[in-house]
Copies of this chain bind each other. A is one copy, B any other.
Amino acid sequence: MPTPPRTSRDQIITAGYTLLNELGLSAVTMQAVATRVGVRAPSLYKHVADLPALRALVADAAARDLATHLAGLDQLSDMAHALRTWALAHPHAFRLTFSGVGSPETMATASASLLRASASIAGNADALNAARLLTAWATGFITMELAGAFQLGGDVDAAFRYGIDRITAALTTRNPPPASTTGTPGPSH
């Protein structure tokens, strides 16, 4: 006898994302998510394959959330600051986004807007490399900040601004760029 679903994939992903932000990845369990959507754990298997799959979907949700917070910005420095602001407010989501748990497109989605902004500063030929450089630096900086690597000293806000200034300068001084030595830019991010 057919019965209507008592929950949905979207509801499950949302519950998982909430648990991630409030308690961390280890709290994103089948049982906790099931309880939160009002069913028993075995029911989730009608909607997601297993726990790793659920966590991958939560990682994608995190990337979409981040993308929302970057949308509408066109200054590279504004985007870098927005990335850091979001990461400090959602540390578990940030780590999961860049952990490789999500689909291969997850991070590309999150940082797609960075590519547009990079293209306007560096030449188009170097836009891919420039976007990668800025994204990698900001990601690494925030990763280290969240991990406590900077806790012993210095003004972390100032260090972040220093990095943006230096990198923006490094990318701008090469505009228009000489013939690139790095091959043709690929489609990724």
Q: Which A residues have a C-beta under 8 Å from some C-beta of B?
A: 95, 98-100, 104, 107-108, 111, 128-129, 132-133, 135-141, 143-144, 146-155, 158-159, 161-163, 166-167, 169-171, 174, 181-189
Contact = CB atoms under 8 A, between A and B. Distances in A.
Contact of A182 (B98, B162, B171, B183): B162
A98 B167 contact: no
| 8 closest A-B pairs by CB | A153-B186, A140-B140, A100-B147, A152-B188, A139-B140, A136-B140, A170-B170, A154-B186
B135 A144 contact: yes
25 contacts: A104-B148, A107-B144, A128-B159, A129-B154, A132-B150, A133-B137, A133-B141, A135-B144, A136-B140, A136-B143, A139-B139, A139-B143, A143-B143, A149-B189, A152-B187, A153-B187, A154-B183, A155-B183, A158-B181, A158-B182, A158-B183, A161-B182, A166-B167, A166-B170, A167-B167
Nearest to A184: B154
A94 to B, nearest CB: 11
Contacts of A150: 132, 188-189
A104 to B, nearest CB: 5
Contacts of A174: 166
A42 B169 CA distance: 57
B182 A149 contact: no
Contacts of A152: 104, 108, 186-189
A175 to B, nearest CB: 12
A133 B166 contact: yes
Contacts of A154: 128-129, 182-186, 188
B144 A141 contact: no
Contact of A159 (B108, B129, B166, B171): B129
